[in-house]
Structure 1
Amino acid sequence: MLAAERQKYILDVIHETGTVSVAQISEHCGVSSVTARTDLDAMEREGQLKRTHGGAVPVSQHVIPAVPQRVHKNARAKDAIGRRAAELVEDGETILVGSGSTTLAFLHWLGEKCGITIITNDVNGLIYVEQFLPQATPVCTGGILGREYRHFAGPMVASSLSDIYLDKVFLGADAFEPDFGFLAEFERTATTKVEFMRHARKTIILMDSSKVGASRSFVRFAAPTEVDMVIMDRDPGGIVASATAGKDGRSRVVLA
């Protein structure tokens, strides 16, 4: 296990339980106790935790902002989608990664990419890139921070992108209706996604199958044929593939 992966594990355990031991790290990560202590010492020097006898505890009550609970819903599907999406990213590209739990899972698979620039409006995503993707350049869009979902939105997002051109934009969707398109829960979120799409050569939607068919009111940010690709764990009844095919008949759905 790479050092960055071990450090992520250490922070995750500290956040969930309030402490981590050298023995835990050694057993879970398959490393010696010397390596585990070296990791903890390095992380303490960086201000990420506080060393204790035999382990470590948080510097404060919040070592890293809490990941929203929705990250754990359909986690296996989101991880598979993220892994498949990462195959589309080439070294040296500039990509934009929108907010959401599936796009956050996507970031976890970018560890081997070199020289990429990642622009995001997601607070948790930005922190992840800064801490665990040292080979990537993190860029924050700015805007008004929505505290509940921890992402930026609003007019300042558009102004921050005015002179930027993106190779690819990766966006999540809160729902999909075949006769209407890809939907966001809030109007400000939908407006932000539309702006993201305007600055990208390709738009790629990352969406698990539970989002097909909305039972609540949402706001459209893209018609079915306005995106270049939809990566899913599965497409129930081929609904998304059929709706997004367009006049050319080409399927835009890729299954992870």
Structure 2
Amino acid sequence: MLPLERQKKILDLLTVKKVLKITELTDELDISIDTLRRDLNLLTTQGKIEKIYGGVKLVDRFGESSMDERMVNHLEEKERIARKCSEYISDGDCIYIDSGSTTYQIAKYIKQKKKLTVITNSIPVINELMHCEVELIIIGGKIRQDEQSVVAFDYIFNFHELNVRKAFICCSGITIERGISDYNLEEAITRKKMIELSKEVFVAADSTKFGKDVTISIAPLDRIDTIVTDGNVDRSFLPKFKKTGTTLVIADV
């Protein structure tokens, strides 16, 4: 198993159990204590785990800021991204808008679209579109109060009855090698399902997300049609994206 694969396995195990002993990890991964220590030291340096006596645990929310904080952080960039995303939405579309501070901004720019259907799990998106002509469908499931979102379960909502033309997805990390990722397993499951069901997938993500591979993998780049980001993105990513099937769009002023 490669180091990156081991480290992802460690994070996956901690996502389920929260705290693990060193002996549990060496047995589960079938590696030496020295190899495990190297992996744990790297994950600790990255701020993803915290060492405790005899074991390790996840850093709370991996340093992810709250939804309220994200709503105001990099606001100008997120508004530019949202305006650009709105250009891909046509009258009569059936679209999915994900929970997230960037995708929320899209709702502000689509209120005048005709015969538009919006499926969402975002409570702020619902509040934004409640009093316009857009037809709203909310995914059923459990409320995540800290994220102001609904995380879905198959037995509550039949995803396969949806006819979604375009999905606008958020994420917390983007890399060429591993695609898009997020911190929360439940949010990731909903995003994976909507990517599976949608004819065209857009990722709306500000430039700070690039180069990060966080806890839960959502989808590789070959499942993503377009990523819309802001002008602060590291230009070294541009030639790398040209070698993929994903279009990288930079939202200008």
The interval holding the TM-score normalised by the smaller chain is: 0.5 to 0.7
The SS at the match of 1:173 is: coil
Q: CA deviation at 1:130?
A: 0.5
Structure 1 gap ranges (5+): 1-66
1:241 to 1:168, Cα distance in 2 relative to 1, 3 A: farther
Contact kept? 1:182, 1:220, Cα under 8 Å: yes
* 1:139 corresponds to: 137
Contact kept? 2:139, 2:152, Cα under 8 Å: no
Contact kept? 1:230, 1:254, Cα under 8 Å: yes
* 1:197 corresponds to: 195
- CA distance in 2 between counterparts of 1:92 and 1:214 reads 35
Name which of 174, 177, 196 aligns with 1:176.
174
Q: CA deviation at 1:159?
A: 3.1
TM-score normalised according to structure 1 size? 0.67
Name which of 224, 233, 252 aligns with 2:247.
252
Q: Residues 75-121 of structure 1: CA distance to partner in whole angstroms, max 9, x if unpaired?
A: 00000000000011110110000100000111111122111000000
The SS at the match of 1:159 is: coil
- CA distance in 2 between counterparts of 1:244 and 1:210 reads 20
CA RMSD of aligned residues (A): 1.9
The alignment covers a number of residue pairs equal to 184
- CA distance in 1 between counterparts of 2:122 and 2:228 reads 20
1:251 to 1:170, Cα distance in 2 relative to 1, 3 A: closer
The SS at the match of 1:231 is: strand
* 1:125 corresponds to: 125
What is the identity, as a one-letter code, of the residue corresponding to 1:120? T
* 1:78 corresponds to: 78
- CA distance in 2 between counterparts of 1:136 and 1:238 reads 39
Q: CA deviation at 1:161?
A: 1.8
| Identical positions, percent | 18
2:164 pairs with 1:166:
yes
Q: CA deviation at 1:175?
A: 1.2
* 1:242 corresponds to: 240
Q: CA deviation at 1:69?
A: 2.4
Q: CA deviation at 1:251?
A: 5.4
Contact kept? 1:141, 1:157, Cα under 8 Å: no
Q: CA deviation at 1:146?
A: 0.8
What is the identity, as a one-letter code, of the residue corresponding to 1:78? K
1:244 to 1:171, Cα distance in 2 relative to 1, 3 A: farther
